[in-house]
Amino acid sequence: MKLIRKNLDGTTLELNIPNSLSINTTINIELEQGESIIIVGANGSGKSRFCGKVEILNEQKVHRIAAQKNLVFEKQYSLSSYEDSMREVFYGQANDTTSKGSRWGWSEQERYIKPVVDCSQAIKALFAQKNKDDEIRAKQAAESHKTKKHVEILAPSVSEKLIEIWNAVLPNRPLDISDLKIKTTKNGGQPYEARFMSDGERDVLYYLAVCLCLPQNIFVVLDEPENHIHNSIINKLFGLLEKARPDLTFIYATHNLEFAAEHTNAKKLWFKDYDGTNWDYHILGEEENLPESLLLEILGSKEKILLVEGEKNSLDTKLYQAYYKDYKVIGCGGCQQVVNRVRAFNTHTLNMHYDVKGIVDRDYRTDTEISELQKDNIFVCQVAEVENLFIVPEVIRYLAKVLGTEDKVDECIDLIKAKFDHDLPFQKVSAINSEVKFQIGKFDFEKRDLEIYKKEITDLNTSIKLADIITAIEGKFNTIHQNGDYREILKIYNQKNVLNVMMKTLGYSTAKIYQNKIISLAQDNNSELLQSLSNYLPQL
């Protein structure tokens, strides 16, 4: 296979890459100028080996920066020629322009495990380039003075570009490059040399020095560039680098899914497997109902996946992760997002071995709606919403026992029942609204034929028997209200703040303390609490 980059002038750059078991070998991966490649996949899927193999297949076109780096900066650098320094970076020694054995070792296996140790050479190349840029500017200034002619302002030098990008990503640590030394300061404090920088600062400086000094029109392969670099700056750093070197093509192999998802102007390759000889990888496309960030998170995991309502670290995700320990729980926002995304992934061409399920709140769903969802691996709790799991009778009794307030359990349940009585009219209306919306949702609004559209609108109006819906829902709610069955009330009662009416009676000062206590006990595998929840949570 080939990776082909199109340039603005109509020319192309080609790179040989290892074949994939899942892609026809006649298919090439094409990039526009400015596009990069991002490689993602679980541990053991062969990402680093792939990076090494790409370099072996294209030694004159590729510069690879391995994941492991031993970056040692010197106090002061001696000046050498740019050509010698760059050959040492690219090939491992100044007098070799054919092989990278001096850089990585002479056996293929050594190439995959040897760390980067060319920090000094990279900085020498930077100073050599700076010296060359300074000489050019000095000559032009002298010529301008001699001839009294205006000289066009030159583009920023390599060292100026480096300082500009550094200051953009690390604004509180201004960089100084002069007198064959590199120094920075932190928040206006005392200057310190590059050799005393943090791991993250050294990585940033190294990437900038190498990538800004590399020869034109080559491919740069970066294995795990996120190492030591904070999430808040990594995309900005490499975005600015790509902008500063549009002639280079960047290939990243990363475990950082946030970096992969936010790096938008890139083609994504998902690595599924590597058997020691062959790779199995796929080119990811765009999916309307499956955000790329979620797709990458699912594909990057070897765990079973459970999509739930809420966001990362929300009440839903914390409780479900504590209970469903065999699953990786991912919050997807609202109910419809969970439904759409489970369905989208389970019909995705890449879903051959993944177990992706969803849980949504019961809300006002009918048994028919719940059965339809289960056909798509979307499950529903035995309570109206996740907040009600915290006030099921078994959980209330257990939490009361923890504080020694068992005598308050019945009073707490009575308080919730009284709140339900007060909210009953509104709950009925909400349930009716929900059912009407569900019925309307069955209608296909994408019809293109006007006459068919008119007929189906008429049929829809006839099929939604509002009076029957109202009668059925009022009857159901009135029966549950009259019977006073607390568990049945929790199945239909949608009121997120209902916990507030009873927590102080039980002995807890805030709802958050009460809820966090339950989540903490579940995370600690408290068998009694988990058994209490099992009566209401679906068995997946």
Amino acid letter, residue 193: E
**Residue 102 and residue 248 share a domain:** yes
In the structure encoding, which two tokens stand for residue 304, read together?
A: 């079973």
Predicted local confidence at residue 61, as pLDDT: 93
Among 323, 306, 312, CA closest to 520: 323
Question: Which of 283, 317, 334 is a domain's end point?
Answer: 283
Token look-up 């049945």 returns 488
CATH of residue 69's domain is 3.40.50.300
In terms of pTM, does the model score above 0.85? no
In this predicted model, what pLDDT tens digit does every residue of 92-106 receive, in sequence order?
Answer: 888 888 888 888 888
DSSP string, 34-91: T-EEEEEE-TTSSHHHHHHHHHHHTTTTEEEE-S-B-----SS-----HHHHHHHHHH
SS3 content of the chain, % helix, strand, coil (to 5): 50, 15, 35
Residue 380 domain flag: no
| Residue 502 main-chain phi, psi, to 5 deg | -130, -10
Give percent above pLDDT 90 in the chain.
51
Mean pLDDT on 209-215: 94
Q: What's the rounded mean pLDDT across residues 351-357?
A: 76
Q: Is residue 350 part of a domain?
A: no
103: enclosing H helix or E strand: helix 101-104
The answer on 61 and 205 residing in a single domain is yes
- pLDDT computed for residue 163 by the predictor: 96
Contacts of 494 (CB under 8 A, 6+ apart): 363, 364, 384, 385, 427, 430
Q: Cα–Cα distances in Å, from 142 out to 128, 133, 136, 139, 367?
A: 21, 14, 10, 5, 87
319 within domain boundaries: no
Clarify whether residues 30 and 160 are in a common domain: yes
pLDDT averaged over the chain? 88
Backbone dihedral region for residue 46 (phi beyond 0: left; psi -120 to 50: alpha; all else: beta): left
pLDDT (0 to 100) of residue 355 = 80
Is 361 part of any domain?
no
Domain end, chosen from 230, 260, 283, is at 283
Predicted local confidence at residue 80, as pLDDT: 85
Query: What percent of the chain stands above pLDDT 70?
Result: 95
- pLDDT over 60 (residue 262): yes
Instruction: Tell me, yes or no, whether 267 and 414 share the same domain.
Output: no
Same domain, 35 and 170: yes
- What whole-number distance in Å separates Cα of residue 415 and Cα of residue 413? 5
Same domain membership, residue 402 and residue 268:
no
State residue 350's pLDDT score.
72
Query: Which pLDDT band holds residue 354 (cuts at 50, 70, 90)?
Result: confident
Query: Please, are residues 387 and 496 in contact by the beta-carbon 8 Å criterion?
Result: yes
- What would the pLDDT profile of 60-74 be if each residue is shown by its tens digit? 999 999 999 999 999
**Domain span holding position 513:** 393-525
Is 472 a member of any domain?
yes
Same domain, 406 and 278: no
Report if residue 372 sits inside a domain: no
What confidence score (pLDDT) does residue 446 get? Answer: 65
Residue 368 lies in a domain: no
What type of residue sits at position 501? V
The DSSP code sequence of 246-258 is TTSEEEEE-S-HH
Show which of 263, 283, 303 is a domain's final residue.
Answer: 283
- Cα(285)–Cα(298) distance, rounded to whole angstroms? 15
Q: Could you give the number of structural domains in the chain?
A: 2
Phi/psi of residue 31, nearest 5 degrees: -120, 140
Say yes or no to pLDDT of 416 above 90.
yes
Under a CB-based contact definition with an 8 Å cutoff, are residues 463 and 387 in contact? no
Residue bearing the bigger pLDDT, 216 or 188: 216
Count Cβ neighbours within 10 Å for each residue of 471-508 and write b for 16 or more, e otherwise.
eebeebbeebbeeeebeebbbbbbbeebbebbbeebeb
Residue 531: inside a domain: no
pLDDT recorded at residue 39 = 95
